[in-house]
Structure formats: C-alpha cells, structure tokens
Amino acid sequence: MRVAISVVLIAILLVLAGSVTAQSVRPPGDAVNLEDSNTLGPSNALGNLSDSDIWRDFRGGDPMNIDDIIRGPIEGQMMTRSGQLWREIRENYIRKYAGWFPVGVIGILALVYLLMGPARIKSGFSGKTLPRFNLNQRVAHWFMASIFIILGLSGLIILLGRPVILPIFGPTVNSIMTSAAMQGHNLFGPLFVVALLWMFIKFIKGNFFQIVDLKWMIKLGGLIGGHVSSHQFNFGEKTWFWMVILVGIVMSATGIALEFPWLFDDLRVLQASTVLHAVGAILLISVSIGHIYIGTIGMEGSLDSMLKGEVDENWAKEHHDLWYEKVTGKSATDDSTEVTKEESGS
C-alpha cells in the first residue's frame, strides 16, 4: 500500500520535473490582435511581399532566438511557435497519460484490499477512546475535503473531457459537461485557497518532521522490519500534509492566474500555469485516493478520528505509540494490552 503510493509519487515527481522544463517555452501570443494585424498583417499582405515573407511575419521571430522565447510574443505577431509546443505537451503527454495515474492507484488499492484486506487493530477494539482531532480540525478537514472533491471531479472533466467523454458520449454531452465543470471549477477555486489556509493553521502543529520519521520511512511504514514508532502524525501523514500545503500553494497560485488572467497579462504565465496546474492536480488526486482508502475501508478504526474526533486506545498504541504515551502517560507496549484484548473479546 505504502509502496504503491511511493511508486506513484516518484512517477509523478518525474512528470513534474519534466513540466518544469516545459514551462519556459514561448506562449502562443495574441493570435488575433486585430488592431495590429490591420496595420501590419493581412491588411497589407497584398502589397509587395512574397508569400513566404508573409508567413514568416505571421509566425514571427526566430525560433532559435532565446530572447524572443523569453520575452514572449512580439507585438503584431500572429503565430507563436511556443504555443504549438505548449499544445503538444498538453495533448500528447498530459491529456494522454494523466487519467492513468488515478486509475492506476485505484487498481493497486483494489488489489491490496483483495489480497491483504483492511489493516485491522491487532489487539481488537479496547472500547476506550482518546481524543485525536478537535471539532475545529474536523470541520476544517471536511471543508477542504468537500472543496477538493468538487474541484477534483470538475477539473478531471475539463482536462479529460475531450479524450474520454467525447469519444464515448459524443460532443453534446462533452460540451455540456465541460461548460458545467468549468463554471463549477472557477466558482469553487477561490474557496480552495481559504480551505488551504484553514487546514494549514489547524494542522501545522505536530506535522514537522522528526528523527523517528526517518526510521518509519526506511521501514516503509512497517511493511518491512516490523513495528514502526510515530508521534501524533507518522511520516506518511506528514508527507501528505506538506504535499497538500506545498502543491496546494502551487495550485492556488496557478489557479488564480488562470481564473483571473488579467492579473498577470502574460501568456507565458498562463501556459506554464495550465501545465503546472494539471500536473499538481493529478498528483494530489492520485495520492488523495490512497488517503481516502486508508481513512475509510483500508484501516480499521481510522474514520472515527475524523467523524467523532476519537480513536480507540489500541488503535493509538499500534499506529501512534509515541503519541499514545504522551497523551496518556502510559506505556504503549506493557502487558495491559493483553488484558484489554481479553476484555474486548468477551
């Protein structure tokens, strides 16, 4: 399970690295700048220039000239080659492969569930509970979760409508769904920023990395080498927290650029934003599926921590022993575990 997430994570990071190089390509320019084209473009195209000169003017600039690439579209220019490059990345890489990441994660998780089943509390439920998340943390979490689901689904429709919905359901359905998804996505986008900030404030405590997390990581969360210790949040949870926060910041920034393009007025920013936004989204969506799995059917006793705010004592001993010892002042490994086991069995 954790291995799966790591594999997916690395793959996604590779894509992300690739996209970093992609963001410096030149954007497609104001392809229909009517005012300029009236004076420089087609309006005087019937003059004394040859066809190839006209097309050169249309395309504009020297594709090998780095200054042109960085400065962006030249005034009056009707075509940009960087736009073509951006389009190729979007169509040939992102749209082609993006959908497979979440699908792959779901497939792996289904396999894990079928082969290994959910992670049970080894010593059974003790019947005694410990408070884990307070009400404000729970509300912040579910607020973020709601916004995330709406944005994730509508975003996937926007990104994958053409390659997935269009061939199956036809252009009308695709058009309706894409229009709806775009409106929904734009409307809920700003709320993500609010939710992110709220999450950050409510969960930052306890989410800094510690030495014990290194051991957790080396043992892959207990998959190899037996029991792993952890404080209130383990390495996986901390990584997820920081991923949400850091990638979330990128998503917020690029999202704002795309929703309010006049704030930047620069096509390079917008082109880079679409790429980053899509890659970040696929990363978060894929990992969130793992998060949802562990939080619900994947691990016994973990959903209650977010619904009721409380976890079973035995759950805490097994998954967050150091936290258990800190809040209860008791040892997580003494023999009382055996006693509670018998009690709960009777």
Partner 1 sequence: MSYIAFVEGPLFLIAATVFVLGALWRVIGIIRIGRKKDISPPKGSEAVGFIRGNLRHFLPRGIFARRTWVHIVGGYGFHLGLFVLVLFAAPHIVFIDERLFSVPWPALPRWGFIIAADIAFAGLIMLWVRRISDPVMRLISDWDDHIGSWLTFLVMFTGCLALQESHVFLRATHMLFVDIWLIYFPFSRLMHAFTFFLSRGNTGATYGRKGMSL
Q: Which of 146, 296, 331, 333 binds partner 1 (CB under 8 A)?
A: 146
C-alpha span between 344 and 121 (Å, rounded): 12
Choose the stretch contacting partner 1; rule: CB under 8 A; options: 8-16, 110-118, 184-192, 261-269.
184-192
Q: Which of 7, 14, 103, 180 binds partner 1 (CB under 8 A)?
A: 180
Our CB check for partner 1 shows the closer of 166 and 212 to be 166
Candidates 311, 196, 338, 289; CA nearest to 4 is 289
Q: Does 87 bind partner 1 (CB under 8 A)?
A: no
C-alpha span between 90 and 111 (Å, rounded): 31
Q: How far is the CB of 187 from partner 1 (least distance, A)?
A: 5
C-alpha span between 15 and 46 (Å, rounded): 46
User: Within 10 Å of residue 228's Cβ, how many Cβ atoms?
Assistant: 21
Q: How far is the CB of 132 from partner 1 (least distance, A)?
A: 12
Strands (E), the chain: 129-131, 310-312
Q: Does 65 bind partner 1 (CB under 8 A)?
A: no
Our CB check for partner 1 shows the closer of 31 and 182 to be 182
Given the structure tokens 């995330």, which residue do they identify?
148
Given the structure tokens 């990128």, which residue do they identify?
250
Q: Which of 56, 95, 128, 138 binds partner 1 (CB under 8 A)?
A: 138
Candidates 116, 124, 105, 141; CA nearest to 300 is 124
User: Which pair of structure tokens corresponds to residue 184?
Assistant: 């929904």
Q: Which of 142, 169, 208, 209 binds partner 1 (CB under 8 A)?
A: 142
Our CB check for partner 1 shows the closer of 115 and 262 to be 262
Q: Does 203 bind partner 1 (CB under 8 A)?
A: no
Q: Does 190 bind partner 1 (CB under 8 A)?
A: yes
Our CB check for partner 1 shows the closer of 111 and 194 to be 194
User: Which pair of structure tokens corresponds to residue 149?
Assistant: 């689901």
Candidates 166, 118, 173, 148; CA nearest to 296 is 118
Residues 271-310 that bind partner 1 (CB under 8 A): 306-309
Our CB check for partner 1 shows the closer of 120 and 308 to be 308
Q: Does 139 bind partner 1 (CB under 8 A)?
A: yes
Q: How far is the CB of 182 from partner 1 (least distance, A)?
A: 7
Q: Does 176 bind partner 1 (CB under 8 A)?
A: yes
Q: Does 17 bind partner 1 (CB under 8 A)?
A: no
C-alpha span between 307 and 135 (Å, rounded): 9
Cβ-based burial of 307 (10 A; exposed 0-12, middle 13-18, buried ≥19): exposed
Choose the stretch contacting partner 1; rule: CB under 8 A; options: 93-101, 108-116, 182-190, 272-280.
182-190
Q: Does 182 bind partner 1 (CB under 8 A)?
A: yes
Q: Does 209 bind partner 1 (CB under 8 A)?
A: no
- The span from the first CA to the last CA of the chain, in angstroms, equals 32
Report in angstroms the alpha-carbon separations of 25 from 61, 86, 211, 263: 14, 7, 41, 21
Q: Does 191 bind partner 1 (CB under 8 A)?
A: yes
Q: Does 267 bind partner 1 (CB under 8 A)?
A: no
- CB of 281 within 8 A of CB of 152? yes
Q: Where are the alpha helices (DSSP H) in 60-165?
A: 66-71, 81-89, 95-97, 100-116, 135-160
Q: Which residues bind partner 1 (CB under 8 A)?
A: 135-136, 138-139, 141-143, 145-147, 175-176, 179-184, 186-188, 190-191, 194, 306-309
